[in-house]
Amino acid sequence: MKKTLLSICAMFLMVASTFAVNSGNWKVKVQEEVGALDQEMIQMNLDDFMNLTPGQYKKATGKKLGLKNTLKLKTAQKFLKSNLNAGEAGGADIPKGLYIVGIILGWGWLLMGLMDDFSGNNWWVNLILTALCWLPGVIHGFIKMNDYY
């Protein structure tokens, strides 16, 4: 039983580390997926880029973004949000199917911790609920799934 639990934990850690996304090269990922962005956008940090609107772009540069570039901007922001764990550096991007299986098996606290870098309250609340009785931890995991996906 102990070996089985250790092997399951090791499997989750290996799979989660496989899907970890490095946010240091977000500009390269956006360029590959969406296409060329303006020089002003490339010079921004990640948080500024994620909060950029066409109105803010016009105010900062004096140029109107245009429909085509507005769509590129929104596509790039959506791509980054889904692939970089909503802008958090170092968090793991775990597939939704693996997350659901992990919650059902009682490992939701570990998956939440990996996705949040063990900061915040979600993972330890889920750990306590799972330890008290399996079902409240599963319910909490499914409710908090909306925060991650």
pLDDT of 135:
94
State pLDDT tens for residues 34-63: 665 666 666 777 778 788 888 888 888 888
- Amino acid code (one letter) for 8: I
Of 13-27, 114-128, 130-144, which range is least confident? 13-27
pLDDT of 88:
47
Say if residue 30's pLDDT is above 60.
yes
Distance CA 84, CA 73 (A): 16
Say if residue 137's pLDDT is above 90.
yes
Q: Give, in order, the Cα–Cα distances in Å from 86 to each of 49, 51, 89, 106, 142.
A: 12, 11, 9, 25, 18
Which pTM does this prediction carry?
A: 0.44
Say if residue 7's pLDDT is above 90.
no
State pLDDT tens for residues 57-101: 888 888 887 888 888 888 888 777 776 654 444 455 788 899 999
pLDDT of 110:
92
8 A C-beta contact, residue 136 and residue 129: yes
Q: Show me where the domains of the chain are located.
A: 23-83, 92-148
65 phi/psi in degrees, rounded to 5: -75, -40
pLDDT of 86:
45
